[in-house]
Amino acid sequence: MLDTEPDFSDRIFSDFDFSSGAVAAVSGGSDSTTLLFLLKDHLDRTQSAAKLLAVTIDHGLRPGSAAEARAVAQLCAERGIVHRTLTWSGRKPSTGLPAAAREARYRLLAEAAEAEGIRLILTGHTADDQAETVLMRQARDEGTGAEDARDGGRGLAGMAPATLYDWRVWIARPLLGTRRAVLREMLKRRGIGWIEDPTNVDLRFERPRVRASLAGDGGERRFEAAIARTRQAAAEREALGRRAAMQIGAFASQPSPGLIRLDRAFAASDDREGATYALRMLLATVGGVSFLADEARSRALFERLRSGPLCATLSRTVVDARRTGIFLYREARNLPAAAPAVDGMLWDGRRRITLSDRSGGLVIAPFGSRAAKRVAEGGVPANLRRMALAAEPALWRGGECLDFAGGDALPPPIPIVPAVAPFARFLPSFDLKPAAVVAALIGAPPLPPLPFPSHDRGGAWAKA
């Protein structure tokens, strides 16, 4: 027997923080349309003053996309819901189009939310989407003969209940524990139609093929197995993240800008798996890389650290293990060339820059080895400190260095703040513990609070 809709919406939304309102991402499909109406009903009953903005992203990739956006706008107008259509304009890439479209979608949603002072975006991803995602990732792993070496199987956790975008706006998925058939039944009872995206049944694409397989013989069994696998993987990922966070908190420090020091005891840790995971995060953060360092290579590097001194490079990070500690800093190769400073830019994947209205004409470039030599020495080996500082960003005007990222001469309107590189764009709620510890280590801004107290949102997986 299906839940009544008020009970259902109260169960999935009751502990959300809607104090700033909510943006509902609505494509016009059944899942996002149901999300919108469930959310509207819930807010009308419980928080009638809360802002609700429906946003449709027109990627401009199909001839009928503009008409679909207009249909969503009309549906919202009939029900008194504020709606906005945002278009992904400009040239589209010839390769990597799905990833680029995803980045554009979340960027536009975040801009719409921030324009209204809203800190929460909701999407209509369902349990069916989750199962499809896990099965696709599992198929890729099986195709290589092992779990993705770079990812270490983390992707089998599927989509997180919440993801922090750009370290500033939460994207939540309250329907991850709900079957699509349940949502469509709700729409049918209300007499509400939805738009069918033709690409969802185009078997030239991977997801429609997986979706078709779940609708065939044995599909329900495969669905249940996929959901069980993603729950297990999510729990394992969170547990490993907590262990990695403990390793970083116990052994890591930042004695100088751009330089991370690990106690020698780190290499002797009994928790090799947790320590290797911590090392992967630190390597990516120091190197400004958006993916964690390759798991197999990181594991081999950790074993070498247990053997004694070494100097190696991985994920654009130099690892210099000495008697006094294990030091990590950005290698000098392939640093960004000097370029005009742009407000909000993420420099080298490692630093965010905020400019004031009076900061025109600034150029950002690496501090450089010559400038680093003039900085007072600290409590670490001088050559390590200089090499780390040389790779840090500095602001220049007319050939004069105003200050570098670790200095104190920059005026407040021009901060250059650290970023946790592997999570700078997307931070799944699975990884909150280690991300928060790394942020505190390098002086990055603290994480904004989750939009709900607990992110174990799935509960029992509803069935049609």
Query: pLDDT tens digits, residue range 330-362?
Result: 999 999 999 888 888 899 999 998 876 656 678
Q: Are residues 250 and 138 in the same domain?
A: no
Q: How far apart, in whole angstroms, are the C-alpha atoms of residue 109 and residue 175?
A: 18
Which of 56, 54, 82 shows the shortest CA–CA distance to 70?
A: 56
Tokens matching residue 319: 């690892």
Which of 332, 351, 380 is the last residue in one of the domains?
A: 332
Which of 202, 233, 264 is the last residue in one of the domains?
A: 233
Q: Are 56 and 23 spatial neighbours (Cβ–Cβ below 8 Å)?
A: no
Supply the pLDDT for residue 378. Answer: 65
Q: How far apart, in whole angstroms, are the C-alpha atoms of residue 136 and residue 157?
A: 12
C-alpha distances in angstroms, 6 versus 24, 35, 410? 18, 13, 53
Query: Based on the structure, what is the number of domains in the chain?
Result: 3
Q: 38 lies in a domain?
A: yes
Q: Are residues 113 and 196 in the same domain?
A: yes
Q: Are residues 198 and 55 in the same domain?
A: yes
Strand 346-347, strand 351-353: pairing:
antiparallel
Supply the pLDDT for residue 93. Answer: 86
Supply the pLDDT for residue 64. Answer: 86
Q: Are residues 393 and 263 in the same domain?
A: no
Residues of the chain under the 70 pLDDT cut: 1-4, 142-152, 201-202, 356-360, 371-378, 403-414, 454-464
Residue for token digits 């790779």?
Answer: 391
Q: Are residues 153 and 264 in the same domain?
A: no
- Segments forming the whole domain that contains residue 252: 243-332
Q: 161 lies in a domain?
A: yes
Q: 238 lies in a domain?
A: no
Tokens matching residue 287: 């190197």
Q: Is 357 exposed, middle or buried (0-12, 13-18, 19+ CB in 10 A)?
A: exposed
pTM of the predicted model as reported, rounded to 2 decimal places: 0.90
Supply the pLDDT for residue 457. Answer: 46
Q: Are residues 322 and 197 in the same domain?
A: no
The CA dihedral of 150, 213, 24, 159, to the nearest 10 degrees, is: -20
Supply the pLDDT for residue 369. Answer: 78
